[in-house]
Amino acid sequence: MSFPKTRMRRLRRNGTLRRMARETRLSCDDFILPLFVVEGHGVREPVASMPGVHRFSVDSLVEEAKQVGDLGIPAVILFGVPDDKDARGSGADAVDGIAQRAVEALKAAQPDLCVITDVCLCEYTDHGHCGIVEGGDVSNDPSLVRLAASAVSHARAGADIVAPSDMMDGRVDAIRTALDAEGFEDVAILSYAAKFASAYYGPFRDAAGSTPQFGDRRSYQMDPPNRREALREMRLDVEEGADAIMVKPALPYLDLVADARANFDVPIAAYQVSGEFAMIKAAAERGWIDGERSMDEALVGIKRAGADWILTYAAKEAAARIG
């Protein structure tokens, strides 16, 4: 049946009908809020390129997390930003490291909030790369040892989920094996499975102080044009034992979010990264777009594509709008 008997506009005529015909709805349960934690006391320092985003000291982080929980957001993902860095990223697995202390404080204050930790070396290395550098490039297998040690230290501090974002080969297996050997078989792994060498990470690198001091990340992060390769990455991580897999960034890679949903039964996460967030905020500040509507449209698009979990700096504002 086609026009004039079929009229698609019949179910768009008013708000009630549109509500009834709606296929996808954002929920507070969808969101994971990224949080940056720095040294110090009483720190709540704005990130210039990310309006509304701050870097918190551990005590302020606990206060912020209280609000996050009250808004109905189930989870946060923590990024440690240490003062001291060295070649091997010693801070990444330090017992009293910044991320470890933050996890302990959060779990003590709010046991029901799911605490995910980003597992990578770039915030902790003086060269800013995500692994151990040997001969001018990131060396895969020595990096695995450090990443596994970091994941175990986060688990020991109380993390519920560890999220490796380094893109080394074999890291999920290395981390799963190390966690199990230390008695952390209940700690889950969310792998950044299809993570691209993206220009959209710019504001994050300012916030985390993790810009590479030489070269770039293209020898380990994925090449943006590659879709089949992303499926291989996801399959490998699931086979190695990932409990959930992520596509990152989100909006320019929604085809992969849909692919992930169609091909795997684990929860699919998508990361609306710093640049995606900053673009919307910047255009809204200039009055060029409606910031709230364009943010919600991006988030519902990510969900419609197939994401179960959405990592977004807009989690608090979006949750407040959902109510």
Tell me the β-bridge partners of 36: 55, 79
Angle between helices 228-239 and 254-263 in degrees, nearest 10: 40
Evaluate the omega torsion of the peptide bond into residue 46 and state whether it is cis, within 30 degrees of 0.
no
Positions in 85-124 near ligand PBG (CB under 6 A): 118, 120, 122
C-alpha 202/C-alpha 210 separation (Å) is 10
Q: Which residue of the set 85, 107, 248, 316 is catalytic?
A: 248
Six-digit token string for 161: 């989920």
Indicate if 303 belongs to the active site: no
Smallest distance from Zn ion to CB 174, Å: 16
Based on CB atoms, which residue is closest to Zn ion, 101 or 195? 195
Do the Cβ atoms of 58 and 97 come closer than 8 Å?
no
273 near ligand PBG (CB under 6 A): yes
Determine how many CB atoms are found less than 10 A away from the CB of residue 222.
21
**Which three-class secondary structure state does DSSP give residue 45?**
strand
* Alpha carbons 27 and 309: distance in angstroms, whole number: 10
State which of residues 130, 174, 247, 298 lies at the interface with ligand PBG (CB under 6 A). 130
Q: 57 or 143, CB closer to ligand PBG?
A: 143
Binding mask 173-212 for ligand PBG (x = CB under 6 A): ----------------------------x--xx----x--
Closest approach of ligand PBG to the CB of residue 311, in Å: 8
Those residues whose C-beta lies under 8 Å from the C-beta of residue 206, and which sit 6 or more positions away, are 47, 48, 49
Min. distance of Cβ 276 from ligand PBG in angstroms?
8
Beta-carbon contacts of residue 274 (< 8 Å; ≥ 6 apart): 49, 50, 200, 201, 202, 203, 204, 207, 313
**Based on CB atoms, which residue is closest to ligand PBG, 180 or 216?**
216
What six digits make up the tokens of 28? 């507070």
Cβ proximity to ligand PBG: between 116 and 157 the closer is 116
The yes-or-no answer on residue 195 being catalytic is yes
Nearer to ligand PBG, 113 or 270 (CB): 270
Query: Minimal distance in Å, beta carbon 120 to ligand PBG?
Result: 4
When CB distances are held under 5 to 8 angstroms depending on the partner's kind, the choice from ligand PBG, Zn ion, none that residue 49 binds is none
| Active centre residues (catalytic) | 195, 248
- Which positions touch ligand PBG (CB under 6 A)? 118, 120, 122, 130, 165, 201, 204-205, 210, 217, 273-274
